Amino acid sequence: MTQDNDPDRNAVLREYARLAGDYDSRWSFYIRATTRETIAHLSVQAADNVLDIGCGTGAMLTQLVDLFPNAAFHGLDASSEMLDVARDRLPSRIELKQGWAEQLPYSDGTFNTVVSCNMFHYIRRPDAALDEMHRVLRPHGTLVITDWCDDYLACKLCDWYLRCCDRSHFRTYGVRQCRRLLKSADAQNITIEKYKITWLWSLMTAVSQKSPESQTSIASAPSQSAT
Protein backbone atom coordinates (compact mmCIF):
# COMPACT_ATOMS: atom_id res chain seq x y z
CA MET A 1 0.00 0.00 0.00
CA THR A 2 1.38 3.41 -1.01
CA GLN A 3 0.82 5.98 1.73
CA ASP A 4 -0.59 9.41 0.89
CA ASN A 5 -0.48 12.63 2.90
CA ASP A 6 -4.27 12.87 2.86
CA PRO A 7 -5.91 10.99 5.79
CA ASP A 8 -9.12 10.42 3.78
CA ARG A 9 -7.20 8.84 0.94
CA ASN A 10 -5.29 6.70 3.40
CA ALA A 11 -8.61 5.48 4.78
CA VAL A 12 -9.54 4.30 1.27
CA LEU A 13 -6.15 2.62 0.84
CA ARG A 14 -6.42 0.81 4.18
CA GLU A 15 -9.95 -0.35 3.42
CA TYR A 16 -9.04 -1.91 0.08
CA ALA A 17 -5.76 -3.35 1.30
CA ARG A 18 -7.90 -5.24 3.81
CA LEU A 19 -10.56 -6.30 1.26
CA ALA A 20 -8.42 -7.15 -1.77
CA GLY A 21 -7.80 -10.83 -1.05
CA ASP A 22 -11.44 -11.92 -0.89
CA TYR A 23 -13.18 -8.96 -2.54
CA ASP A 24 -14.39 -10.88 -5.60
CA SER A 25 -15.84 -13.79 -3.62
CA ARG A 26 -17.33 -11.65 -0.87
CA TRP A 27 -19.14 -9.28 -3.26
CA SER A 28 -19.66 -11.62 -6.23
CA PHE A 29 -23.34 -10.84 -6.87
CA TYR A 30 -22.83 -7.10 -6.52
CA ILE A 31 -19.82 -7.16 -8.87
CA ARG A 32 -21.65 -9.24 -11.50
CA ALA A 33 -24.73 -7.03 -11.41
CA THR A 34 -22.94 -3.70 -11.53
CA THR A 35 -20.47 -4.70 -14.23
CA ARG A 36 -23.31 -6.18 -16.32
CA GLU A 37 -25.31 -2.96 -16.14
CA THR A 38 -22.25 -0.81 -16.88
CA ILE A 39 -21.15 -2.86 -19.89
CA ALA A 40 -24.70 -2.70 -21.25
CA HIS A 41 -24.25 1.08 -21.58
CA LEU A 42 -20.90 0.83 -23.40
CA SER A 43 -20.28 0.94 -27.13
CA VAL A 44 -16.67 -0.03 -27.83
CA GLN A 45 -15.28 -0.17 -31.37
CA ALA A 46 -12.27 -2.05 -32.69
CA ALA A 47 -9.03 -0.15 -31.98
CA ASP A 48 -10.70 2.06 -29.33
CA ASN A 49 -8.66 3.14 -26.33
CA VAL A 50 -10.64 2.55 -23.11
CA LEU A 51 -9.82 3.55 -19.52
CA ASP A 52 -11.44 1.91 -16.46
CA ILE A 53 -11.06 4.25 -13.46
CA GLY A 54 -11.32 2.43 -10.16
CA CYS A 55 -10.72 -0.88 -11.93
CA GLY A 56 -10.16 -2.74 -8.64
CA THR A 57 -9.46 -6.43 -9.16
CA GLY A 58 -10.09 -6.15 -12.90
CA ALA A 59 -13.52 -7.80 -12.90
CA MET A 60 -14.97 -5.50 -15.54
CA LEU A 61 -11.78 -5.35 -17.60
CA THR A 62 -11.77 -9.16 -17.78
CA GLN A 63 -15.21 -9.12 -19.39
CA LEU A 64 -14.41 -6.20 -21.67
CA VAL A 65 -11.29 -7.92 -23.04
CA ASP A 66 -13.41 -10.96 -23.94
CA LEU A 67 -16.18 -8.87 -25.52
CA PHE A 68 -13.95 -6.43 -27.43
CA PRO A 69 -10.63 -8.22 -28.14
CA ASN A 70 -9.42 -5.62 -30.66
CA ALA A 71 -9.71 -2.62 -28.32
CA ALA A 72 -6.91 -1.38 -26.05
CA PHE A 73 -7.79 -1.37 -22.34
CA HIS A 74 -6.19 0.46 -19.43
CA GLY A 75 -7.01 0.34 -15.73
CA LEU A 76 -6.35 2.74 -12.88
CA ASP A 77 -6.88 2.18 -9.16
CA ALA A 78 -5.59 3.75 -5.95
CA SER A 79 -5.03 0.40 -4.22
CA SER A 80 -1.84 -1.49 -5.05
CA GLU A 81 -3.32 -4.61 -3.45
CA MET A 82 -6.38 -4.55 -5.72
CA LEU A 83 -4.12 -3.99 -8.73
CA ASP A 84 -2.02 -7.01 -7.75
CA VAL A 85 -5.16 -9.17 -8.01
CA ALA A 86 -6.01 -7.57 -11.36
CA ARG A 87 -2.54 -8.27 -12.76
CA ASP A 88 -2.87 -11.94 -11.89
CA ARG A 89 -6.14 -12.31 -13.83
CA LEU A 90 -5.63 -9.99 -16.82
CA PRO A 91 -3.49 -10.40 -19.95
CA SER A 92 -0.12 -8.66 -19.69
CA ARG A 93 -1.05 -6.32 -22.55
CA ILE A 94 -3.59 -4.55 -20.28
CA GLU A 95 -1.85 -1.49 -18.84
CA LEU A 96 -2.59 -0.97 -15.13
CA LYS A 97 -1.54 2.10 -13.16
CA GLN A 98 -1.90 3.26 -9.59
CA GLY A 99 -3.41 6.71 -9.11
CA TRP A 100 -6.42 8.84 -8.21
CA ALA A 101 -9.31 10.04 -10.35
CA GLU A 102 -8.66 13.68 -9.47
CA GLN A 103 -5.18 13.54 -11.02
CA LEU A 104 -5.04 11.07 -13.88
CA PRO A 105 -1.56 10.03 -15.09
CA TYR A 106 -2.47 10.20 -18.80
CA SER A 107 -2.06 12.73 -21.60
CA ASP A 108 -4.91 14.89 -22.89
CA GLY A 109 -7.23 13.25 -25.42
CA THR A 110 -5.92 9.70 -24.96
CA PHE A 111 -9.15 7.69 -24.70
CA ASN A 112 -12.29 7.10 -26.76
CA THR A 113 -14.12 5.88 -23.65
CA VAL A 114 -13.66 6.42 -19.92
CA VAL A 115 -15.67 4.20 -17.59
CA SER A 116 -16.03 4.03 -13.82
CA CYS A 117 -18.05 1.51 -11.81
CA ASN A 118 -18.78 1.64 -8.06
CA MET A 119 -16.10 4.21 -7.33
CA PHE A 120 -17.59 7.69 -7.50
CA HIS A 121 -18.84 7.74 -3.90
CA TYR A 122 -15.22 7.71 -2.70
CA ILE A 123 -14.18 10.86 -4.58
CA ARG A 124 -13.68 13.93 -2.38
CA ARG A 125 -13.51 16.38 -5.30
CA PRO A 126 -16.01 15.14 -7.90
CA ASP A 127 -15.70 18.31 -9.99
CA ALA A 128 -11.93 17.84 -10.28
CA ALA A 129 -12.34 14.15 -11.11
CA LEU A 130 -14.87 14.88 -13.86
CA ASP A 131 -12.62 17.59 -15.30
CA GLU A 132 -9.80 15.04 -15.43
CA MET A 133 -11.99 12.39 -17.02
CA HIS A 134 -12.96 14.85 -19.75
CA ARG A 135 -9.38 16.01 -20.17
CA VAL A 136 -8.17 12.51 -21.07
CA LEU A 137 -11.14 11.91 -23.39
CA ARG A 138 -10.97 12.67 -27.09
CA PRO A 139 -13.55 15.11 -28.51
CA HIS A 140 -16.85 13.22 -28.87
CA GLY A 141 -15.47 10.61 -26.45
CA THR A 142 -17.85 8.85 -24.07
CA LEU A 143 -17.89 8.84 -20.27
CA VAL A 144 -19.87 6.10 -18.46
CA ILE A 145 -20.25 6.20 -14.67
CA THR A 146 -22.17 3.67 -12.56
CA ASP A 147 -22.62 4.29 -8.85
CA TRP A 148 -25.10 4.09 -5.99
CA CYS A 149 -28.22 6.22 -6.39
CA ASP A 150 -29.20 8.42 -3.47
CA ASP A 151 -32.74 8.83 -4.84
CA TYR A 152 -33.63 5.50 -3.20
CA LEU A 153 -34.17 5.19 0.54
CA ALA A 154 -31.82 2.25 1.15
CA CYS A 155 -28.90 4.05 -0.52
CA LYS A 156 -29.75 7.27 1.30
CA LEU A 157 -29.67 5.50 4.67
CA CYS A 158 -26.48 3.63 3.78
CA ASP A 159 -24.85 6.91 2.72
CA TRP A 160 -25.84 8.53 6.01
CA TYR A 161 -24.46 5.61 8.02
CA LEU A 162 -21.17 5.43 6.11
CA ARG A 163 -20.59 9.18 6.37
CA CYS A 164 -20.80 8.77 10.14
CA CYS A 165 -18.86 5.52 10.51
CA ASP A 166 -16.51 4.98 7.55
CA ARG A 167 -13.93 7.61 6.67
CA SER A 168 -13.19 5.98 3.31
CA HIS A 169 -16.71 6.84 2.11
CA PHE A 170 -17.49 10.39 0.93
CA ARG A 171 -21.07 10.65 -0.42
CA THR A 172 -23.60 9.35 -2.91
CA TYR A 173 -25.64 11.37 -5.43
CA GLY A 174 -29.09 11.38 -6.93
CA VAL A 175 -29.87 11.82 -10.61
CA ARG A 176 -30.34 15.59 -10.36
CA GLN A 177 -27.03 16.09 -8.54
CA CYS A 178 -25.20 13.81 -10.96
CA ARG A 179 -26.58 15.71 -13.96
CA ARG A 180 -25.53 19.02 -12.40
CA LEU A 181 -21.96 17.77 -11.85
CA LEU A 182 -21.72 16.54 -15.44
CA LYS A 183 -23.06 19.81 -16.84
CA SER A 184 -20.51 21.73 -14.75
CA ALA A 185 -17.81 19.66 -16.46
CA ASP A 186 -19.22 20.68 -19.89
CA ALA A 187 -20.49 17.20 -20.65
CA GLN A 188 -22.97 16.86 -23.51
CA ASN A 189 -25.74 14.42 -24.46
CA ILE A 190 -26.22 13.37 -20.84
CA THR A 191 -28.48 10.42 -20.10
CA ILE A 192 -28.92 8.95 -16.62
CA GLU A 193 -30.77 5.72 -15.85
CA LYS A 194 -31.58 4.64 -12.31
CA TYR A 195 -32.57 1.06 -11.48
CA LYS A 196 -32.55 -1.65 -8.82
CA ILE A 197 -30.26 -4.71 -8.86
CA THR A 198 -32.14 -6.25 -5.93
CA TRP A 199 -35.45 -5.37 -4.30
CA LEU A 200 -33.41 -3.15 -1.96
CA TRP A 201 -30.22 -1.97 -3.63
CA SER A 202 -30.22 0.67 -6.38
CA LEU A 203 -27.80 2.21 -8.83
CA MET A 204 -27.64 4.75 -11.60
CA THR A 205 -25.59 4.80 -14.78
CA ALA A 206 -24.74 8.12 -16.40
CA VAL A 207 -23.57 8.34 -20.01
CA SER A 208 -22.25 11.57 -21.53
CA GLN A 209 -19.95 12.83 -24.24
CA LYS A 210 -17.09 15.27 -24.35
CA SER A 211 -17.85 18.42 -26.31
CA PRO A 212 -16.15 18.57 -29.73
CA GLU A 213 -15.18 22.15 -28.87
CA SER A 214 -13.01 20.84 -26.00
CA GLN A 215 -9.96 20.48 -28.16
CA THR A 216 -7.00 19.29 -26.07
CA SER A 217 -3.55 18.37 -27.23
CA ILE A 218 -2.81 14.65 -27.28
CA ALA A 219 0.86 15.53 -27.22
CA SER A 220 0.71 17.43 -23.93
CA ALA A 221 2.51 16.05 -20.90
CA PRO A 222 0.55 13.70 -18.62
CA SER A 223 -0.48 14.68 -15.12
CA GLN A 224 1.47 13.11 -12.30
CA SER A 225 -0.06 10.30 -10.26
CA ALA A 226 -0.96 11.17 -6.72
CA THR A 227 0.62 7.96 -5.45
Q: Is the pLDDT of residue 219 over 50?
A: no
Which tens digit of pLDDT belongs to each residue from 3-59? Answer: 567 888 999 999 999 999 999 999 999 999 999 999 999 999 999 999 999 999 999
Query: Are residues 148 and 157 in contact, defined by beta-carbon separation less than 8 angstroms?
Result: no
Which tens digit of pLDDT belongs to each residue from 115-147? Answer: 999 999 999 999 999 999 999 999 999 999 999
Q: In what order do the strands lie in the sheet with 111-117?
A: 95-98, 72-77, 49-53, 111-117, 137-148, 202-210, 187-196
Banded pLDDT at 214 (limits 50, 70, 90): low
Q: What is the pLDDT of residue 200?
A: 86
Q: Is the pLDDT of residue 172 over 80?
A: yes
- Domains in the chain, please, with CATH? 7-210 (3.40.50.150)
Q: Is the pLDDT of residue 222 over 70?
A: no
Q: Which amino acid is at 125?
A: R
Which tens digit of pLDDT belongs to each residue from 176-199? Answer: 999 999 999 999 999 999 999 998
CA quadruple 131, 137, 143, 147: dihedral sign:
negative
Query: Are residues 187 and 134 in contact, defined by beta-carbon separation less than 8 angstroms?
Result: yes
Q: Where are the beta strands (DSSP E) in the chain?
A: 49-53, 72-77, 95-98, 111-117, 137-148, 187-196, 202-210
Predicted TM-score (pTM) of this structure: 0.90
